[in-house]
Amino acid sequence: MPQPTDAPDPIVYMDTAARTAVGQDYKERLAAALDLRSGQAVADIGCGPGTDLARLADAVTAAGSVVGIDREPRMLAEAGRRLAARPNVELRLGDVHALPLADASVDRAKADRVLQHVDDPASAVAEAFRVLRPGGLFGAAEPDWDTLAVADDDVRTSRGFARFVAATVRNQTIGRQLARLCTRAGFRIRSVDAVAVLFRDFDVADQILGLRRLSARAVEAGELPAADVRAWLRRLADEPFLAGFTFYLVTGQVPPETRGDEPGMSSMTRPAAAGGGS
Ligand SMILES: C[S@@+](CC[C@H](N)C(=O)[O-])C[C@H]1O[C@@H](n2cnc3c(N)ncnc32)[C@H](O)[C@@H]1O
């Protein structure tokens, strides 16, 4: 029997998040920043249930290819079901710290809300660098949970809730670290954008932020008084609602080695070097 403090099913959670207006908006922005072209090879690192694979496959057309990588067989099974009609989408079981891809084998790579969960984000970003061709682009999108704020007169409970939520995520400040991690891995930063993720509807925020579920867990853990949380939730549900956090989108480029290695040029579309080939 499911309890109110049980975590939601991860696939349902990812689908719900992707359907929100802000989810759709940032995913479009991330895809646009990747500057996808026909014929490219793209890796979706931590592809989950395949949320973005069809969009990527459309952008690179049948001339290109998409590989979705995830460490969870259940995610890949669901992605396989959703992408069954896409011959240019391949799924591979693998870990972000040791990607099942050869060096310099893809033109684009993206990781969307994956690095927040991994053991070693720096080595995961270094892996993205390794598998990208010279001139290739990496796009990463991550929240910064340490910026979570819930508007209420009881600021102490809002802060306590926000701290509790942030503590449930392994790399809670990954958003603000993304550009630094990419630079250290060798990428040239092309863009850094901060998106204010705002919720003005209690029920939508509850689905994404776990207002009821995680505040109940904070009470169970002895971190917040039950009476304060009860009153806090009542006001949040009854009064005009506002909560938000900062979400970062970063694009980095592997330095091009030759003039042919410009963004948008895959090995298939890159012109042969002057005098090269026969
Ligand atoms: C929040 S979901 C995001 C899924 C997808 N990128 C999206 O935007 O809907 C994070 C995904 O990363 C995967 N993941 C977490 N750690 C991983 C790791 N070390 N290696 C590979 N995948 C990982 C999880 O299995 C999950 O599918």
Residue 275 belongs to some domain of the structure: no
DSSP H stretches of helix in 149-201:
155-167, 174-185
Output the CA 231–ligand 1 centroid distance in Å.
35
Single out the residue of 94, 96, 133 nearest to residue 111, CA to CA.
96
At 255 the pLDDT is 97
Output the CA 45–ligand 1 centroid distance in Å.
7
* Residue whose entry in the numeric block shows the structure tokens 């796009």: 139
Ligand 1, pocket-test mutation among 11, 22, 117, most atoms within 8 A of CB:
117
Residue 4 belongs to some domain of the structure: no
Six-digit token string for 160: 């306590």
Look up the domain containing 198 and give its range.
10-253
What's the average pLDDT block by block, 10 residues per block, for the chain (278 residues)? 71 83 91 97 98 97 98 98 96 98 98 98 98 98 98 98 97 98 98 95 95 98 98 98 98 82 44 30
Residue 67 belongs to some domain of the structure: yes
Instruction: Write out pLDDT tens, residues 62-82.
Output: 999 999 999 999 999 999 999
Residue 267 belongs to some domain of the structure: no
Cα torsion angle, 195, 244, 8, 164, sign: positive
Domain total in the chain: 1
Six-digit token string for 238: 């009854």
Residue 246 belongs to some domain of the structure: yes
Distance in angstroms (rounded) separating the CA atoms of residues 162 and 230: 16
Residue 1 belongs to some domain of the structure: no
